């Protein structure tokens, strides 16, 4: 009796296919995925947003991946918005996709899949290694272990720039740092320092930038000493609360963000530095 399964896509295939957004390497079952833009610091845009979901789907479907490290390039997790090839903040909307597709495809579907594919389909331990400030940190927060550098700051800038915080980042903050701290970060736009993130249980460790990847790999190798099934089923157990939370509340959050964005275009001048927490927040005088 031969057992002949249909093969899923190989590392060799998807690592090339996704290379415009992610550099990947794999050793002994440990896959390191590094987000980048032109091999420099990541600039976030519509394409990268979708590519995150596509990457999680490919990495998750390949059963030869056993532990994942997710990190960024240079001094920022995300340095800024990619004005070159993204219509997100829309100056050049004429060349963007048609309105309805834009909203449904890029806000609803991509906004849903970027977190769902990670939570439901990457059934292996994930180590987030946050190499510096930036927004859209929800993917590294959802990692099982999250390291960050001492200069990292985390921001929840939606409300600051006139949007509803529906992409999952605020939902994660509610769960990890509690409703009141999450509200202070979100309603008042205040950045969370690495030290606060550690004290409040938002990250696991603060590690100097020069040691960050070494630490992530050391942890990954420690994980690899356990049997594959123990690793995977432990991850399943650890993820169950995220699955509960996102199933129960995420679709409501995201559709509120989309509803509000359709009713009111962003009305406060989006300050570029809001995404790294250097401006835009409430300050007591």
Q: Name the minimum Å distance from CB 23 to a copy of itself.
A: 15
Residue ranges in 3-22 that form contacts with a copy of itself under rule CB under 8 A: 3-6, 8, 17-18, 20-21
| Piece of 27-35, 36-44, 132-140, 195-203 that binds a copy of itself (CB under 8 A) | 195-203
Which of 34, 57, 79, 136 lies at the binding interface for a copy of itself (CB under 8 A)? 57
228 binds a copy of itself, rule: CB under 8 A = yes
28 binds a copy of itself, rule: CB under 8 A = no
| Piece of 34-42, 53-61, 69-77, 131-139 that binds a copy of itself (CB under 8 A) | 53-61
Mapped onto helix, strand or coil, the DSSP state of residue 81 is strand
Cβ-based neighbours of 115, under 8 Å, separated by 6 or more: 138, 139, 142, 167, 168, 246, 250
- Please give the structure tokens belonging to residue 178: 């509690």
Which of 74, 75, 200, 278 lies at the binding interface for a copy of itself (CB under 8 A)? 200
85 binds a copy of itself, rule: CB under 8 A = yes
With respect to a copy of itself, which residue has the nearer C-beta, 27 or 84? Answer: 84
Which residue shows structure tokens 């930036």?
134
Q: Name the minimum Å distance from CB 135 to a copy of itself.
A: 17
Residue ranges in 88-127 that form contacts with a copy of itself under rule CB under 8 A: 91-92, 95-97, 99-100, 103-105, 108-109, 116, 120, 123, 125
> Strands, E, within 200-263: which ranges?
205-206
DSSP for 218-230, please give it: HHHHHHHTS-HHH
- Distance CA(129)–CA(117), nearest Å, equals 19
Strand 67-71 vs strand 126-130: parallel, antiparallel, or unpaired?
A: parallel
Cβ-based neighbours of 90, under 8 Å, separated by 6 or more: 96
CB 10 within 8 A of CB 62: yes
Q: Name the minimum Å distance from CB 95 to a copy of itself.
A: 5
């Amino acid at each position: 009796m031969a057992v002949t399964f249909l093969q899923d896509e190989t590392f060799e295939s998807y690592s090339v296919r996704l290379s415009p957004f992610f550099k990947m390497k794999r050793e002994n079952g440990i896959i390191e995925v590094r987000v980048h833009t032109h091999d420099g610091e990541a600039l976030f845009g519509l394409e990268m947003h979708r590519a995150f979901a596509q990457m999680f789907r490919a990495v998750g479907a390949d059963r030869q991946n056993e532990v994942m490290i997710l990190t960024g390039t240079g001094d920022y997790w995300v340095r800024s918005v990619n004005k070159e090839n993204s219509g997100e903040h829309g100056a050049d909307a004429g060349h963007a996709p048609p309105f309805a597709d834009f909203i449904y495809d890029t806000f609803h579907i991509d906004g849903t899949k970027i977190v769902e594919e990670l939570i439901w389909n990457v059934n292996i331990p994930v180590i987030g290694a946050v190499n510096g400030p930036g927004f859209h940190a929800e993917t590294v927060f959802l990692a099982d272990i999250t390291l960050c550098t001492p200069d990292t700051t985390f921001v929840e800038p939606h409300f600051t720039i006139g949007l509803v915080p529906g992409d999952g980042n605020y939902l994660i903050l509610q769960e990890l740092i509690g409703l009141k701290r999450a509200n202070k970060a979100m309603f008042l736009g205040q950045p969370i320092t690495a030290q606060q993130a550690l004290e409040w249980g938002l990250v696991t460790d603060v590690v100097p930038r020069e040691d960050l990847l070494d630490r992530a790999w050391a942890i990954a190798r420690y994980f690899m000493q356990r049997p594959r099934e123990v690793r995977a089923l432990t991850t399943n157990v650890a993820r169950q609360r995220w699955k509960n939370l996102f199933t129960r509340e995420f679709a409501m959050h995201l559709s509120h963000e989309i509803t509000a964005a359709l009713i009111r275009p962003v009305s406060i001048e989006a300050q570029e530095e809001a995404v790294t927490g250097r401006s835009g927040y409430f300050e007591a005088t």
